[in-house]
Amino acid sequence: MKTLFKPGQFFDENYYERGAETGKSLYSHYRWMPELTIPMCHHIAKYLELKETDKVLDFGCAKGFSVYGLRLLGYKAYGVDVSEYAVKKSPEEIRKWLGVIEPQEELTCAEGGYDWILCKDILEHVPYENIEQQLEVFHKGGKRLFVIVPIGRNGKYLIDSYEQDKSHFIKEDIDWWTKKIEDAGFEIDLATYDLGPFKKNWQFEPEGNALIMATRPNTLHEDLMIGFEEEKRQRELEEEDE
C-alpha cells in the first residue's frame, strides 16, 4: 500500500522546533551547535579522506549545519532538503549553497557529479515504495555514498526512541540496506554496525545503527580523467603566462 506522506509539508516548524512536544519527532529547538557539529564534520572529513577539491552533498541537510561545518573546515559542501522551512532557517552565510528539492528529484552538479553524497540519518525517512528510485538518483548524481541508518528487525527499531519520529518508515537490517544499495548500481566498500566516531550517544545498542559506504563503478577511472584534464588546463595556463 502506498504511503500517504507529503514530506514538504511534514518537515515543518513543529518537526524541528517542537517535535518532542507535538509527538512529531525527536527534535526540540533544532539549532546550530558548533561544539558538536564542527567536530562531527572533522570526523566526516577524516573518515572519508576528503580532499579540498571534492564536491560533497549533504542530502537531507535540514538547516544546513553540516554544510556550514564542512565549509568552515575548507571543503566544498552543498546541501539539499525537501523542507522549505528548514532551508529558510539556515545560516545566511551558507544559504547560497543550499536548495529545496522534491522527493526523488534528480541532483544537479558540475561536471562529474558529486564526489560524495552524505545521508546521515536520512534514508529511513523515505517510504518503502520510493527508496529504490531515490538510490538510483544517487547513482546518477554521485560517485560515492556515505550512509548511516537506524536498524530495525521484524518491523521495529532496535532502539525504541527511533519509533517516536513519525516519518521513520524503513525498519530493516543491514543486509536489506546493502542489497538495495547494490541493486542501485553501487559497490559496497563498507557495511558495519561500528559507527566509529559518529553518534556516540546512540551506540549503547551494538547493532542499533549501521554505517555503509559505497562507490559507483568506474569512479577511479573518472577521477583519473578529471585529474588529467585539470593538469592539462593548468599547463595551458602556465604556457600562456610565459
The pLDDT assigned to 3 comes to 72
At 45-94, the pLDDT tens digits run 999 999 999 999 999 999 999 999 999 999 999 999 999 999 999 999 99
User: Per the structure, how many domains does the chain have?
Assistant: 1
Mean pLDDT score of the chain: 92
**CA gap 16, 203 in Å, rounded:** 23
Instruction: Please give the distance of CA 155 from its chain centroid, rounded to a whole number.
Output: 24
Domain hosting residue 39, numbered range: 33-241
Is 25 domain-assigned?
A: no
Which CATH number goes with the domain that contains 178? 3.40.50.150
3-state secondary structure of 134: helix
Which of 101, 109, 113, 120 lies closest to 47, judged by CA?
120
Kindly report the backbone phi and psi dihedral angles of residue 133, in degrees, each rounded to the nearest multiple of 5, phi listed first.
-65, -40
The answer as to whether 149 is a domain residue is yes
Residue 7 lies in a domain: no
Please give the C-alpha separations between residue 218 and each of 44, 75, 135, 142, 187, in angstroms, as whole numbers.
23, 24, 17, 12, 10
Answer whether residue 159 is part of any domain: yes
In terms of Cα–Cα distance, which of 145, 197, 147 is closest to 39? 197
Q: Is residue 76 in a domain? A: yes
Does any domain span residue 2?
Answer: no
In a domain, 75, yes or no: yes
